[in-house]
Structure 1
Amino acid sequence: MKEIAFEDFYQLCQNGCSTIIDVREEVEFKQVHIESAQNLPLSSLADTYEVLDKNQTYYVICKSGIRSAHACQFLAEKGYDVVNVPGGMDAFE
């Protein structure tokens, strides 16, 4: 599974990266999130992933990196180019 160091991911965010998927639940997402992130909760990802473009690279984030790792595995199996963000939103705070 591809991963990105948090410092490198943070730089991408500063430059306006628009391909961030936040797989936390909607309640968590509403509390705090990266402005350009798209919320696709892991619990419903199997029903919503097809809105994604297979020609894009997506950076997948959650609270700590566990759910995003599961989401990356699922999406990679479906043919998407995904990169896990270890540390997740905990690293932002």
Structure 2
Amino acid sequence: MQSISVQQLREREGVPLIDVREPDEYAAGHVPGAVNMPMSTLGEHVDDLPEGPFDVICQVGGRSARVVEALTARGLDATNVDGGTGAWAEAGYGLER
């Protein structure tokens, strides 16, 4: 499974970021530019995912890793963000609310 660190995520440009946490978690604080598509409803929205490469984030990296495994099995170019939103905040990077 492809994965990147939050430091690598911060340096990436032009790669969509999908936040698979629930809406209340997303509203409490998310990586700037992240689009919320909860894991619980992702199956209904697979056609809404970006074409081409994209990154997937959750709170600590577990849910996003499972999502990335499922999406790459379908042939999509998804990359997991290790450590998730928690690691992003711990690194001192700002969150949007």
User: TM-score over 0.5 for the alignment?
Assistant: yes
1:8 is matched with which residue? 8
May I ask how many residue pairs the two structures share in their alignment? 89
How far is 1:60 from its partner? Answer: 0.4
2:16 maps to a residue whose letter is T
The alignment's C-alpha RMSD in Å is 1.3
Q: Kindly provide the CA deviation profile for residues 21-64 of structure 1, in whole angstroms up to 9, marking residues without a partner as x.
A: 0000000001101221111111111111211233x111100000
2:53 is matched with which residue? 57
2:60 maps to a residue whose letter is S
1:40 maps to a residue whose letter is M
The TM-score normalised by the length of structure 2 is 0.84
Which structure 2 residue ranges, 5 or more long, are not aligned? 90-97
What fraction of aligned residue pairs are identical, expressed as a percent?
34
Q: Does residue 91 of structure 1 match 2:87?
A: yes
Q: Distance between the aligned counterparts of 1:18 and 1:4, measured in 2?
A: 12
The answer to whether the Cα contact below 8 Å between 1:23 and 1:40 also exists between their aligned partners in 2 is yes
The TM-score normalised by the length of structure 1 is 0.87
Which structure 1 residue ranges, 5 or more long, are not aligned? none
Q: Distance between the aligned counterparts of 1:18 and 1:2, measured in 2?
A: 14
